[in-house]
């Protein structure tokens, strides 16, 4: 993962290395995700003008993780995430990593429609006692500094960011090797009959809706979610724990919906109707574990369920 800014006269030239989240996207769509201040039509015109290298690329080119491109952008339209004074819940911090309990409703990094108020803006806005901005890894670029993995806007919970490039590379390696533990709690619709189970279905972009993911046997990447039932609320709702073996976009949401149990409040993969007014899917990243990139020590962090989640569990019907 990389987005390196190179000054070049009236242009900024960005060198981008696409990551797993970009796999299979059209070039124009992938670049639009990386450069949220530019419209897709603007990106297409830049590609058509030959300002994206290597030569021979078109807007329809499908990108792969690890592909490297450079794009020349007028400096007036280039985006860099700005520091903002936003309070965030710091779980752990040292010279290499910072673990946060992300609040529900906060976007992780700037993107189209969410250029401010993100976790990245908050991390950049934090100051040391000496007054210097907290350092973040530059591996993911000027829009996603420090960001090793992401959770959805309406998902709360534990997330680790890297403060050095070496730490970032080490944590990314753990993600790829599946040694980073990520355990979630969720409330799903319906009564899950089995006490535990595994969903092993490939996930890729939805064939007709670009903003959605879907089980995709043809073009999807392997995705594995293990779940355990914690409590049943009649036949209407089930409180579960979900452990990620892989980390595809919207993985838990897509997988649980695929077996007939969409997350409560998930209007993208489930029903828009909910008697509980949850304002998004009921999903919390409770446990995060990884090997410290410097010491090698195994660290595990657990974040409490947010208040809205606890209150929901209290009012769900038991019968």
Give dist(CA 68, CA 32) in Å, integer. 15
Please report which helix (H) or strand (E) contains residue 92, including its range.
strand 89-93
Residue 101 designated active-site: no
**Which is the catalytic residue, given 12, 22, 152, 154?**
152
Long-range contacts of 33-41 (CB under 8 A, 24+ apart): 33/111, 34/3, 34/141, 34/143, 35/71, 35/73, 35/79, 35/143, 36/79, 36/110, 36/111, 36/112, 36/113, 36/114, 36/115, 36/143, 37/77, 37/78, 37/79, 37/112, 37/115, 38/73, 38/77, 38/79
Give dist(CA 58, CA 50) in Å, integer. 9
Give dist(CA 283, CA 217) in Å, integer. 26
- Report the SS3 class of residue 45: helix
Neighbours of 306 (CB within 10 A): 16
Active-site residues: which are they?
Answer: 152
């Amino acid at each position: 993962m990389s987005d390196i800014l190179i000054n070049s006269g009236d242009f900024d030239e960005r060198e981008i290395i696409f990551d797993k989240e970009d796999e299979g996207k059209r070039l124009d769509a992938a670049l639009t995700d990386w450069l949220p201040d530019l419209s897709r039509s603007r990106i297409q015109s830049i590609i058509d003008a030959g300002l994206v290298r290597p030569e021979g690329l078109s807007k329809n080119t499908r990108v792969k993780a690890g592909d490297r491109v450079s794009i020349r952008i007028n400096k007036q339209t280039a985006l860099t995430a700005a520091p903002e004074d936003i309070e965030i819940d710091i779980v752990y911090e040292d010279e290499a990593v910072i673990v946060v309990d992300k609040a529900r409703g906060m976007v992780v990094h700037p993107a189209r429609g969410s250029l401010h108020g993100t976790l990245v803006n908050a991390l950049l806005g934090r100051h040391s006692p000496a007054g210097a901005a907290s350092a973040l890894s530059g591996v993911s670029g000027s829009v996603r500094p420090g960001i090793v993995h992401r959770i959805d806007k309406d998902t709360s919970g534990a997330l680790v960011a890297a403060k050095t490039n070496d730490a970032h590379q080490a944590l990314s390696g753990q993600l790829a090797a599946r040694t980073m533990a990520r355990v979630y709690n969720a409330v799903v619709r319906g009564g899950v009959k089995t006490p535990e189970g595994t969903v092993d279905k490939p996930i890729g972009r939805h064939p007709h809706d670009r903003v959605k993911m879907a089980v995709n046997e043809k073009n999807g990447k392997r995705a594995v979610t293990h779940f355990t039932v914690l409590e049943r609320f009649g036949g209407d709702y089930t409180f579960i724990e979900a452990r990620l073996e892989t980390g595809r976009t919207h993985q838990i949401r897509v997988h649980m919906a695929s077996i007939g149990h969409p997350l409560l409040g998930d209007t993208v993969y489930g029903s828009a109707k909910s008697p509980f007014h949850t304002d998004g899917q009921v999903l919390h990243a409770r446990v995060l574990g990884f090997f410290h990139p410097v010491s090698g020590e195994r660290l595990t962090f657990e974040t409490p369920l947010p208040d809205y989640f606890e209150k929901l569990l209290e009012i769900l019907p038991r019968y």
